[in-house]
């Protein structure tokens, strides 16, 4: 066999692991080389285990190239973790349930997600980001800041497919926009689409459950309220915890 510069010898060596015969082939150099290098070299063909090993290495290289470039969270949230969350009596339940949601994510079958509720600065977005960070290597995770998403939708055609198909979607800060028909319709497509696909969503909102339908419309609110675990965070704004109140002098 001389085509492609290959020649096969009669002798082969069976691989000690899979038993497949590794043939000895002579591969000519594609262009003339100095005499000291010779015209070509003897190689062994790949057996099944070597092919599998090469495929594995190729996949690992692809993973390394793809994943770090595509972090689902905005930069400011990429370091948020459960370890970095200060647990108090006012947030313990939300913290523990959020963590167990992330740890048992592969067992969720009905698409049941979470809605994190509470005043500003109580750690809702922090917990949502911690969930995303814990899951993002094994699952596809998408994050949207709802006011920005709606703004982008007003300006252009935002592809919905990644939001509908991600294993987990975080919808941060639901309800800051007034519930116009247009907003309700957009939100409904996403919320309903994910429920129909049985894909869990994590919502954060500043609004009470009672106020949510005024913010996002009854149809969206009832779906969110009905199909998610409600976790309440209480306490003062963590952002201003070190700012001491100094009474004004008369
Ligand atoms: N219990 C906590 N332990 C550690 N950091 C916290 C805790 N709660 C909040 N933080 C930090 O305080 C800041 C504000 O928290 P976060 O953004 O999660 O608040 P939020 O409840 O989403 O508020 P908003 O309703 O204004 O969006 C973040 O930097 C967050 O990491
Ligand atoms: Mg927030
Ligand atoms: Zn083998």
Average pLDDT per run of 10 along the chain, which is 250 residues long?
Answer: 57 87 84 74 87 87 61 92 96 98 94 95 96 96 94 90 95 88 91 95 92 89 94 89 66
231: β partners = 116
Q: What is residue 101's predicted lDDT score, i.e. its pLDDT?
A: 98
Ligand 1 pocket test target in 238, 240, 242, 243 with most atoms within 8 Å of CB = 238
Cα 209 to Cα 229: distance, rounded to the nearest angstrom: 12
Q: Is any ligand 1 atom within 6 A of the Cβ of residue 91?
A: yes
Q: Is any ligand 1 atom within 6 A of the Cβ of residue 45?
A: no
Q: What is residue 120's predicted lDDT score, i.e. its pLDDT?
A: 92
Cα 191 to Cα 193: distance, rounded to the nearest angstrom: 6
Ligand 1 pocket test target in 126, 130, 234, 240 with most atoms within 8 Å of CB = 126
249: β partners = none
**Full-model pTM:** 0.73
Extents of the domains making up the chain = 3-66, 72-238
41 close to 27: Cβ distance less than 8 angstroms = yes
CATH 3.40.30.10 fits 72-238, yes or no: no
Q: What is residue 115's predicted lDDT score, i.e. its pLDDT?
A: 97
Buried b (16+ CB within 10 A) or exposed e, 30-46: eeeeeeeeeebeeeebe
Cα 56 to Cα 62: distance, rounded to the nearest angstrom: 10
């Amino acid at each position: 066999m001389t085509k492609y510069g290959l020649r096969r010898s009669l002798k082969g060596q069976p691989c000690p692991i899979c038993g497949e015969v590794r043939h000895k082939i002579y591969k000519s150099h594609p262009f003339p080389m100095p005499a000291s290098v010779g015209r070509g070299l003897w190689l062994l063909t790949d057996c099944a285990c070597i092919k599998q090993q090469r495929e594995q290495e190729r996949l690992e290289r692809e993973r390394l190239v793809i994943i770090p470039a595509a972090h689902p969270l905005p930069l400011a949230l990429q370091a948020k973790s459960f370890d970095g969350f200060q647990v108090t009596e006012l947030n313990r339940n939300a913290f523990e349930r959020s963590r167990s949601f992330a740890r048992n994510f592969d067992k969720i079958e009905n698409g049941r997600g979470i809605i994190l509720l509470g005043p500003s600065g109580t750690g809702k977005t922090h917990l949502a980001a911690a969930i995303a960070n814990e899951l993002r290597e094994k699952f596809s995770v998408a994050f949207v800041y709802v006011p920005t998403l709606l703004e982008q939708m007003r300006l252009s055609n935002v592809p919905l497919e990644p939001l509908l198909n991600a294993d987990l979607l975080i919808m941060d800060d639901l309800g800051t926009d007034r519930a116009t028909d247009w907003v309700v319709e957009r939100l409904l497509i996403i919320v309903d689409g994910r429920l129909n696909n049985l894909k869990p969503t994590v919502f954060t909102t500043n609004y009470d459950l009672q106020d949510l339908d005024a913010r996002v419309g009854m149809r969206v609110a009832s779906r969110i309220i009905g199909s998610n675990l409600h976790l309440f965070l209480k306490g003062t704004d963590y952002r201003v915890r070190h700012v001491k109140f100094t009474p004004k002098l008369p």
